[in-house]
């Protein structure tokens, strides 16, 4: 079984979603037959390398949300993170452009060190207040993760692996991924947001049971709507705990600021009640 995941390093919910997937796979009976493929997604392609204002202030200003509410949401997110062994230091977050980090992660995949390099860069931003858009900071983190210094220098000196980042993003657009994290299971079912471990486990069980059934191609898509890395599905995963609607927080195309526990999702650049994949795509068609 294949799981394609779209994620951005500077999305707090993506860190939580990544951890929840790890825990779900640890409980999944067929985990040794699952391949997880991570795809790049940038919340804001035009973000400066390193921002000058605290992340929480920028998010509050973008969405017009009172600071008290944003503080409460981030404290809730930190508690959810701590419950699964993560250290979310939201007061230390540094706004950063993640493009170069995504390129280095693609380089680390080619070098066979994707997991340690990704983990090091993500932890640095999420827990240590690192400015991952700063080339010197990013280079040091990639080397600490195990990527050769000469490879790091070559990547950061040019645009190597930029095409890989853009391909991931183009595929996301093609199949209707507009927020992260998004998990596409076996190219058939999409689960969005930092869903609880039990929800992801139910989705894994359902998808495993559904092996051999392929989604029908629809007109006008890349490969009928299923293009190499995934296939957005209108079908709910059933009544056993997994669903296509996001009941957990996520980040949209231009930022994030939704509670990890509230029944909302980020759609585009605004926070709104969670909608099904079918509703979201129908709305975007107008």
The model's pLDDT over 35-57, given as tens digits with 9 standing for 90+, comes to: 999 999 999 999 999 999 999 99
pTM of the shown model: 0.80
pLDDT of 170-183, one tens digit each?
A: 999 999 999 999 99
Mapped onto helix, strand or coil, the DSSP state of residue 21 is helix
**Position 225 pLDDT exceeds 60:** no
Q: C-alpha 138: how far from its chain's center?
A: 19
- Structural domains of the chain in order of their starting residue, each with its CATH number: 47-169 (3.40.30.10)
Mapped onto helix, strand or coil, the DSSP state of residue 53 is strand
Percent of the chain at pLDDT exceeding 90: 72
* Order of strands, sheet of 182-185, starting from the edge strand that comes earlier in the sequence: 35-40, 2-7, 182-185, 189-192
Average pLDDT, integer, range 204-214: 91
Average pLDDT, integer, range 276-284: 34
User: CA-to-CA distance for 195 and 216, rounded, in angstroms?
Assistant: 26
- pLDDT category at 80 given cuts 50, 70, 90 is very high
Nearest 5°: phi and psi at 114? Answer: -60, -45
**Position 66 pLDDT exceeds 80:** yes
* Nearest in space to 188 (alpha carbons), one of 161, 163, 215: 215
Average pLDDT, integer, range 3-25: 98
- pLDDT category at 261 given cuts 50, 70, 90 is very low
- What's residue 236's pLDDT? 34
User: CA-to-CA distance for 217 and 187, rounded, in angstroms?
Assistant: 12
Nearest 5°: phi and psi at 253? Answer: -60, -20
The first and second tokens of residue 124, run together, are 């640095």
């Amino acid at each position: 079984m294949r799981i394609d995941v779209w994620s951005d390093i500077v999305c707090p919910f993506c860190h939580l979603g990544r951890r929840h997937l790890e825990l779900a796979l640890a409980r999944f009976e067929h985990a040794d037959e699952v391949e997880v493929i991570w795809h790049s997604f940038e919340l804001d392609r035009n973000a400066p390398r390193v921002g000058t204002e605290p992340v929480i202030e920028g998010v509050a200003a973008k969405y017009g949300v009172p600071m008290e509410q944003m503080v409460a949401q981030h404290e809730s997110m930190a508690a959810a993170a701590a419950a699964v062994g993560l250290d979310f230091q939201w007061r230390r977050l540094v706004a950063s452009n993640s493009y170069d980090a995504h390129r280095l992660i693609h380089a680390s995949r080619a070098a066979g060190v994707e997991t340690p390099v990704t983990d090091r860069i993500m932890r640095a931003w999420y827990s240590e207040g690192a400015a991952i858009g700063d080339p010197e900071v990013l280079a040091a983190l990639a080397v600490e993760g195990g990527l050769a210094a000469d490879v790091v220098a070559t990547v950061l000196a040019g645009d190597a692996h930029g095409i890989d980042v853009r391909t991931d993003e183009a595929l996301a657009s093609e199949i209707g991924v507009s927020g992260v994290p998004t998990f596409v299971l076996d190219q058939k079912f999409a689960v969005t947001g930092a869903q609880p471990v039990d929800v992801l486990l139910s989705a894994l069980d359902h998808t495993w049971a559904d092996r051999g059934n392929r989604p029908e191609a629809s007109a006008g898509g890349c490969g009928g709507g299923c293009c190499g890395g995934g296939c957005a599905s209108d079908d709910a995963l059933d009544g056993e705990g997994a669903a296509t609607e996001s009941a957990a927080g996520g980040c949209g195309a231009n930022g994030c600021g939704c509670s990890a526990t509230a029944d909302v999702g980020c759609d585009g650049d605004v926070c709104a009640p969670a909608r099904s994949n079918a509703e979201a795509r129908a709305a975007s068609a107008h």
